[in-house]
Chain A
Amino acid sequence: GIQVEQSPPDLILQEGANSTLRCNFSDSVNNLQWFHQNPWGQLINLFYIPSGTKQNGRLSATTVATERYSLLYISSSQTTDSGVYFCAVEHTNAGKSTFGDGTTLTVKP
């Protein structure tokens, strides 16, 4: 099956700092999503981004499908950004999404 690798596994930031999270995948994909899981377990859909660039407030994401990676940018981080960020990809014709292991982000005040 498709391999999904996220880096870094853990990230600690001071409030106000910027960060870049990476997701590498081993094969062609139909779609790619970024999620934020908060401490209560809620999985929040951040971006649906099989290719190209999208922005939503302080967050933006870029997927370069031909090079099999996606980046999530968080600017001016806030303590509420803490949690686990997952990348999930749907391998072409697989009919299902596979999650990476996630990046655990801690933003300190």
Chain B
Amino acid sequence: DTEVTQTPKHLVMGMTNKKSLKCEQHMGHRAMYWYKQKAKKPPELMFVYSYEKLSINESVPSRFSPECPNSSLLNLHLHALQPEDSALYLCASSQPPAYYNSPLHFGNGTRLTVT
């Protein structure tokens, strides 16, 4: 069983909808990440939270809005998405970057389809 849990597993939404992706970890990690993965491509980093503060935003469009309510939870709020935003969205956690021995642990992802 994965130690990073993502919900929902699948999501279909229209371009005018507002939805949220959720991620939870109970590994005591203090860094959490959102990655986006298109078919046959590697995961691409979107956001990094370190100690519940946004530390990296990889120039992601504002229709994606991350939130880290506490050290165990990470949300990604979606609004006015485009069909090209359809992808697998992966959450990961680790000890903060540059910390000794800080492997990434991934959830199973949310497969998002925008219609």
- A: residues with CB less than 8 A from B are 30-31, 33, 35, 40-43, 45, 48, 86, 88, 90, 92-102
Contacts and interface: CB of A to CB of B under 8 A. Distances in A.
Nearest to A32: B103
Interface string B34-48: 000100011111001
A95 B42 contact: no
Interface string B72-114: 0000000000000000101000000110011111101101000
Given A95-B48, A95-B56, A101-B42, A88 B98 contact: no
Interface residues of B, number: 25
A43 B43 contact: yes
Interface of B: 2, 33, 37, 41-45, 48, 50, 55-56, 88, 90, 97-98, 101-106, 108-109, 111
Nearest to B2: A42
A33 B103 contact: yes
B106 A45 contact: yes
A42 B3 CA distance: 12
A27 to B, nearest CB: 14
Contacts, number: 60
Contacts of A101: 41-42
A77 B105 CA distance: 25
A8 to B, nearest CB: 15
A31 B85 CA distance: 30
Most buried by A among B44, B90, B106: B106
Nearest to B47: A96
Contacts of B98: 30, 90, 92-93, 95
A96 B103 contact: no
Contacts of B42: 86, 99-102
Contact of A96 (B48, B90, B106): B48
Given A41-B88, A86-B42, A100-B42, A95 B50 contact: yes
